[in-house]
Structure 1
Amino acid sequence: MKFSAAFTSLCLAAVAVALPAEKRADSSTSAAPTVTDILNYALTLEHLENAFYAEGIKNFTHLSFIEAGLPGFAAGRFSEIAQHEATHVQFLAGALGESATQACNYNFPVTDAKSFAQVSYLLENVGTSAYSGAAQYLSGGTLTAAATILAVEARHSAWVNSAVLKANPWNGAFDTPLDLNQVYTLASGLITSCPSSNPTLPVKAFPALTFGSDMTAGKATTVSFNGSDASSADGTYVGFISGMNTTIVPVQNGQVTIPDGLMGVVYAVATSSESMTSDNVTLAGPAFLSFDFGPNGKPIGHWLL
């Protein structure tokens, strides 16, 4: 473990050096987040994951997973993931020092071992997308440190969906980067309250985007946001983001037709534009959708959270 300790020390040193300068990724964009902002953003997500796994490993045993039709060995592996997330929190909090944000209170939609595994899959995917999207704001040793966490989040995601949920271990040739607001929107739905002393992050949460239960490709399903009925979404669009591709379809009669060919994790965003899903035209979302597929590439089911 000497190498591990040495590497961690080097990464912490690199992060610590970057923090005081408060460098921004693009000097021409005054609103760009600082390194401290990005690390606290990452720590916010790691606190959430840490709390989720700490709660889960207390509630679900080897037998819990078997009773849910899942492999019993998952309990031990989830305990290992819990240790990883606790280490991520310790690492980022150590780098930030007194500037570190604190854990919040959370409410996870978990009722049994299967829903625990599904929420785990959501969190690991969102974590991977978060680090991918935030990489543009980092450089040098700080970027390297973030990349080492990103890689572990991606490994977690692949293991959960393949070994535990018996579906695809990946989405495609490219993963999906999300911006700060998109990630925070997904995380905020699980956060109930935070310490008032926590630093303010340069992020905002969009309203929740909800769909009907039938997400079969080629079929229409209801869509709504802002707590209104589905018909009020008419005249808007929904962008389905997967990897480096986005498919945008119109909302008609309170419904949207699910595009053909969606595979793996897809993030859906309600937008006022027929060609973009950027924050300035986002109305709601993202929503997390999973279009599972088998080793032959054919769909084997879908679910959403």
Structure 2
Amino acid sequence: MLPLDVTVLNYALTLEHLENAFYHGALEKFSEQAFVDAGMPGFARRRFEQVAAHEATHVKFLSTALGDKATQPCTYNFPYTDVRSFAALSQILEGVGVSTYTGAAQFISNKEYLTAAASILATEARHESWVSSAINRFAGWSGAFDVPLGLNEVFTLAAPFITECPTTNPVLPVHPFPKLVLHSPSPGQPTHIVWADNDARGATHIAFYTGLNVIPVPIQDGSVVVPADVDGTVYAVAITSDSDANDSTIVAGPAILLFERNSNNVLIESSQAN
């Protein structure tokens, strides 16, 4: 196995460990009645059990492929407090999983591993679609394309859930960016930017990721106008460029933005998820 393939598969395994812990921890905490009391269908918990089994299988598959090079699970802290907040976070994590595999595919040289990663990607997308539509009552997609995220961008989103990892784990060549907060974002409307790190104040634009498109919008007086035609899950990063969003220009983010519309394309929810 080539060194880059090892790194990318361990990167994927890091996220699979996180998802595996997330589902098993929640299912240990919440009974079937808790799901029903939260207004969900009676089958909801049993479907989540199946999702949990898929994530455990992904962990086993990647761990077997990597052998003694496989990263081990960490200790995690997930901020759900009830079944509804668990389901909301499930949608987010599955979406990040889809963007992880979509963005990382370009780095896998072994065609067998690439095929396996594509198969996992498809399953993660099915998870996200089911949670979004059957449980959270939103559309099961964000348009014709999903967003590919870079390695550092995904690690930025995963890092807040990780409290401690084994010291023997291989060191991944990734680092998190500072947090980006957009106050009450809404399509076509200006939103105030809250900087979590003073170093990020050098940003000149906010780049909005929607599908395969990157839309840079200039920052003016501490605010930015959200593009009017975005919907579903959109990611936003602060950049020091007027066009390019990459590891050398990103200074904060990604922020996860949710712009959910009903079947008549009417906005029903607009928020930042992280």
Give the TM-score normalised by structure 1.
0.85
Q: For residues 62-77 of structure 1, what are the structure 2 equivalents within 5 Å? A: 62-77=32-47
The answer to whether the aligner puts 1:246 opposite 2:217 as a matched pair is no
- Percent identity over the alignment is 49
- Residue 226 (str. 1) matches residue 196 (str. 2): yes
CA shift at 1:253, angstroms? 2.4
CA–CA distance in structure 1, aligned partners of residues 135 and 190 of structure 2: 30
Aligned to 1:81: 51
Residue matched to 1:171:
142
| 2:232 equivalent in structure 1 | 264
Query: Is the partner of 1:280 in helix, strand or coil?
Result: coil
User: Is 2:248 aligned against 1:277?
Assistant: no
1:270 to partner: Cα distance = 0.7
SS at match of 1:181: helix
| Matches of 2:69 and 2:53, distance apart in 1 | 23
Shift of 1:99: 0.6
After superposition, where does 1:70-219 map in structure 2 within 5 Å? 70-138=40-108, 139-212=110-183, 214-219=184-189
1:274 Cα shift? 1.3
Higher alpha-carbon deviation: 162-171 or 60-69: 60-69
Aligned partners of 2:113 and 2:129: how far apart in 1? Answer: 25
- Code of the residue aligned with 2:147 in structure 1: it is T
Structure 1: distance between partners of 2:99 and 2:85: 21
Q: How far off its partner does 1:69 sit?
A: 3.0
Q: Distance in 1 between matches of 2:245 and 2:97?
A: 20
Give the distance between the partners of 1:227 and 1:71, measured in 2 at CA. 42
Unmatched 5+ residue regions in structure 2? none
Task: Provide the C-alpha distance between the structure 2 equivalents of 1:90 and 1:111, rounded to a whole number of angstroms.
Answer: 28
- 1:234–1:251 Cα contact (<8 Å) kept: no
Supply the AA of the counterpart residue of 2:156.
Answer: T
Distance across 1 between alignment mates of 2:80 and 2:126: 22
Contact in 2 for aligned 1:266/1:290 (Cα 8 Å): yes
Partner of 1:11: none
Q: 1:70–1:227: structure 2 CA closer, same or farther, 3 Å change rule?
A: farther
Contact 2:206-2:236 at 8 Å conserved across structures: yes
**How many residues end up aligned between the 2 structures?**
272
The alpha-carbon deviation at position 216 of structure 1 amounts to 1.9
- Two-structure CA RMSD over aligned residues (Å): 1.6
SS in 2 for 1:283: strand
Q: 2:202·2:240 contact (CA, 8 Å) conserved in 1? A: no
CA distance in 1, matches of 2:31, 2:213: 39
- Structure 2 CA distance for aligned equivalents of residues 242 and 109 of structure 1: 26
| Residues 66-92 of structure 1 deviation map (CA, whole Å, 9 limit, x = unaligned) | 333333321111111000001100111
The letter of the residue matching 1:250 is P
Residues 235 and 157 of structure 1: CA distance in aligned 2, closer, same or farther (over 3 Å): closer
- String of CA shifts for 1:70-128, please: whole Å, max 9, x gaps: 33321111111000001100111111111110111111120111111111111111111
Structure 1 Cα separation of the partners of residues 59 and 211 of structure 2? 27
Q: In 1, distance between residues paired with 2:136 and 2:221?
A: 35
Amino acid at match of 2:96: V
- Structure 1 residue 277, shift from structure 2 partner: 1.2
Post-superposition, which runs of at least 4 consecutive aligned residues in structure 1 deviate over 6 A?
none
State TM-score, norm by structure 2. 0.94
Is 2:25 the partner of 1:50? no
Q: Distance in 1 between matches of 2:35 and 2:232?
A: 23
The structure that has the greater radius of gyration is 1
CA-to-partner distance for each residue in 1:120-172, whole Å, 9 max, x for gaps? Answer: 11111111111111111123111111111000000000000000000100111
Q: 1:280 to 1:82 in 2, by over 3 A?
A: same
Whole-Å Cα distance in 2 between the matches of residues 244 and 220 of structure 1?
A: 23
Question: What displacement does 1:228 show?
Answer: 4.7
Q: AA paired with 1:170?
A: W
Structure 1 regions of 5+ residues with no counterpart? Answer: 1-18, 23-33
- SS of 1:279 mapped into structure 2: coil
**Residue 71 of structure 2 aligns to which amino acid in structure 1?**
T
Match of 1:290 in 2: 258
Aligned partners of 1:208 and 1:285 also within 8 Å: yes
More deviation in 146-155 or 252-261? 252-261
